[in-house]
Amino acid sequence: MSERRLPPVQQLGIASMILTIVSVIWLASYIPKHPPLAVSVVLMILAGVVLATNLTLLSRVQEFSWSTFRAVAGWTLVAYVVIAGMLEFVFLYDHVSGGVLVLMTLSLVSFAVNVPLLLGFGVARYQ
């Protein structure tokens, strides 16, 4: 039985999450001072490019259990949007502002998209 050729969704998803995590650690390492934002900006741009590439490659797959993917990724996305919303509230409540708030918000978006993508792909690839 020949196996379908699928794009490296899991590897690209993990790469995007690693770039996001390193960006957040860089910002957190400067607490309570104001961090230099250049490193985090570059890391988040790279994470966004990898995520966009991942989504594009996956969207071009023809033979795939899209209904299973949508079911798993959809409900996971709902949960992660709620979690990201609560964390965003915490950032605002703690008076995080400016570039740091933008970068932290982008990191939440990255996780809220990457985790459902990885879970949905992991389940649907074997259907």
Predicted local distance difference test score (pLDDT) of residue 127: 87
3-class secondary-structure state, position 6:
coil
pLDDT digits (tens, 9 = 90+) for 42-71: 999 999 999 999 999 999 999 999 999 999
- CA 94, distance to chain mean position in Å, is 23
User: Any idea which residue has 């959809």 for tokens?
Assistant: 74
pLDDT digits (tens, 9 = 90+) for 76-113: 999 999 999 999 999 999 999 999 999 999 999 999 99
Establish if 24 belongs to a structural domain: yes
Establish if 82 belongs to a structural domain: yes
Establish if 28 belongs to a structural domain: yes
Establish if 4 belongs to a structural domain: no
Predicted local distance difference test score (pLDDT) of residue 3: 64
- CA 104, distance to chain mean position in Å, is 12
Establish if 40 belongs to a structural domain: yes
Establish if 2 belongs to a structural domain: no
CA atoms lying within 13 Å on the CB side of residue 16:
28
Predicted local distance difference test score (pLDDT) of residue 86: 98
Establish if 115 belongs to a structural domain: yes
Residue-level length of the chain? 127
Read off the pLDDT band of 32 (50, 70, 90).
Answer: confident
* Cα 68 to Cα 63: distance, rounded to the nearest angstrom: 12
Number of structural domains, the chain? 1
Owning domain of residue 77? 9-124
Helices (H), the chain: 9-28, 38-59, 66-93, 98-124
Establish if 1 belongs to a structural domain: no
